[in-house]
Amino acid sequence: MKLFHSLTLNLRPAIGLGVLLAGLVPTLAFAQAEKSDSPAKAEAAAKLPPAKEVIAKFVKAIGGAEAFAKVTSQHAKGKFEMAAQGITGDLEVFAKRPHKLEVKINIPAIGDIATCHDGKVGWSVNAATGPALMEGKQLAQMQEEADFDHILHDAKDFKSMETLEIAQFEGHECYKLKLVRKSDAELTE
């Protein structure tokens, strides 16, 4: 089984970097949580490993928290997609310890969108709306995502963690997780 990391857009980019467990290939993907009350799904869910166990295997597969602590920066490229709106584009993420993050999205016919955090201040530059400083919940969410070690999913940062199902990602079976941060932000990975 492989764990994939998701990127969820909820009127602001919430960015994550991930690694497929088996292949250790960096990936970015989009996913939406699906709810079902069917008995078959309930039975299947009962056989799934706890989310904390899936995350522990992921952390072990990337060399452990101690090895990850030696990583000082990350750079990833991928595709951005909002399927319901028919919008796609290129995505580029730059991250640096301890709390620096820049996410660039290029959407044809719209232009570039950049969302950044320098450790204290969060801002965005949007081709359609111009520059803006982040405040309140938007800034708090960006600070959570800019935490370089957020990929380790420390249980103390979450209200709940659950394994939803086995899903397909790029032709591989993966565990799909639902994580709820203490700030109530929901992640599907």
Of 31-35, 112-116, 154-158, the least confident: 31-35
Side chain identity at residue 187, one-letter code: L
What does the mean pLDDT of the chain come to?
80
Give dist(CA 56, CA 114) in Å, integer. 32
Question: With bands split at pLDDT 50, 70 and 90, how would you rate the model's confidence at 20?
Answer: very low
pLDDT digits (tens, 9 = 90+) for 39-61: 665 566 568 999 999 999 999 99
Distances in whole angstroms, Cα of residue 90 to Cα of each of 76, 106, 112, 154: 11, 5, 9, 30
- Report whether pLDDT(5) > 70: no
pLDDT of 48: 95
Give dist(CA 55, CA 49) in Å, integer. 10
- Report whether pLDDT(4) > 70: no
Nearest to 113 by CA among 97, 101, 131, 96: 131
Count Cβ atoms below 10 Å from residue 26 Cβ, excluding itself.
Answer: 16
pLDDT of 38: 62
pLDDT of 41: 59
Taking only Cα atoms into account, the Rg of the chain, rounded to an integer number of angstroms, comes to 17
pLDDT of 127: 86
- Report field, pTM of the whole predicted structure over 0.85: no
Question: With bands split at pLDDT 50, 70 and 90, how would you rate the model's confidence at 2?
Answer: very low
Nearest to 115 by CA among 96, 136, 101, 127: 101
